Chains A and B, each alone.
Chain A
């Protein structure tokens, strides 16, 4: 059986603000009373909740490349995930792998970010050819580095190889290298 559609649908932003607990108590109560009586808006709220649930699942299974932060890495670990973490000094290198029991692999690249407005991350293959560029990644200037987590399936599929990552400051008059990092990757024995 179908149900009547909504004549004054709640905006997606309102639904999201409600879901995240950002609304004032009166607005929250109005929103709840509305969707409890509205098939259309409760359906859209369900879509939002399902998206949130699935985004969380993607993060927990390390299903995508993620530029994240130290707090998020801590929360992943606190939630019981096995987090393998590598810290690379400026222009440093590391011998790395991914073990079967790892849920997430994280690399922290130290870099001088003070005064930098935009950072791009460039992946370079062992021959020095650019492979992929992630533009305008989020960073906190006084954190002294960038934290990223590659998708774990792609990582597990890698043969023994050396990968290079370059952090670039993008400025009005061009770009400059902030640091370059080398990952000497070995597949897990199993």
Chain B
């Protein structure tokens, strides 16, 4: 089962290791029927919930809706894995992608599967709701301040509204290609400063 769990708090890459991959976990969930494999289910949810949340943020635009999506997708995923709906475990990402698309459409139409799923599985199946922590506010402000003016302006205007290069280019009287170049440099510099890699 998916239990409430904390997200990894750091901004670093996961270390390479040799745990079971996602497909192996999905296979364990499907093969456990009629019993369940709570450990495999929990681990799958721990891995996939943050990724689905990102999908939700991108398509639904706010944390609350992304959290709703994350919960519904995790519940549906486990339900379908238990039902043996995933025939090729190595295609788990496509399987989850399909569920994400379907639930986003449902959410946009205002249909909610959440209540039915919660009734069936209860609160214990819910993945974590809290987003991962942000990078240090003061450090980021310091790093932004250290950027060349154009890079700072382009990043501020880009991220304030998640504004694409074409739109920003019109606002700043630049070409979209120029905006992308400035953005690329600024982001690399900002990431380097925030992570300490550029010192």
Contact = CB atoms under 8 A, between A and B. Distances in A.
B93 A53 contact: no
Contact of B144 (A35, A64, A69, A75): A64
A38 B48 CA distance: 9
B77 to A, nearest CB: 11
B140 A58 contact: yes
Nearest to A58: B141
Interface in B169-183: 171-174, 180, 183
A51 interface: yes
A129 to B, nearest CB: 21
Interface string A72-105: 1001000000000000000000000000000000
The secondary-structure label for the interface of chain A is helix
Contacts of A29: 97
Interface string B1-41: 00000000001011111110110000000000000000000
Contact of A36 (B57, B93, B148): B93
A65 interface: yes
Contact of A37 (B22, B149, B156, B174): B22
Given A20-B164, A53-B134, A46 B54 contact: yes
Contacts of A142: 173
Given A22-B164, A42-B51, A46-B50, A33 B94 contact: yes
Interface residues of B, number: 66
A112 interface: no
A39 B30 CA distance: 22
B100 interface: yes
Contacts of B133: 50
Contacts of A22: 164-166
A170 interface: no
Interface of A: 1-5, 12-13, 16, 18-22, 29, 32-40, 42-47, 49-59, 63-69, 71-72, 75, 134-138, 140-142, 151
Given A39-B14, A53-B134, 6 more contacts: A4-B19, A12-B187, A40-B13, A54-B140, A69-B171, A136-B148
28 contacts: A1-B19, A1-B46, A3-B17, A19-B58, A19-B162, A21-B164, A35-B54, A36-B52, A36-B93, A45-B54, A46-B50, A50-B133, A50-B135, A51-B135, A51-B187, A51-B194, A52-B159, A54-B135, A55-B160, A58-B137, A64-B141, A67-B153, A72-B160, A138-B149, A138-B150, A138-B174, A142-B173, A151-B145
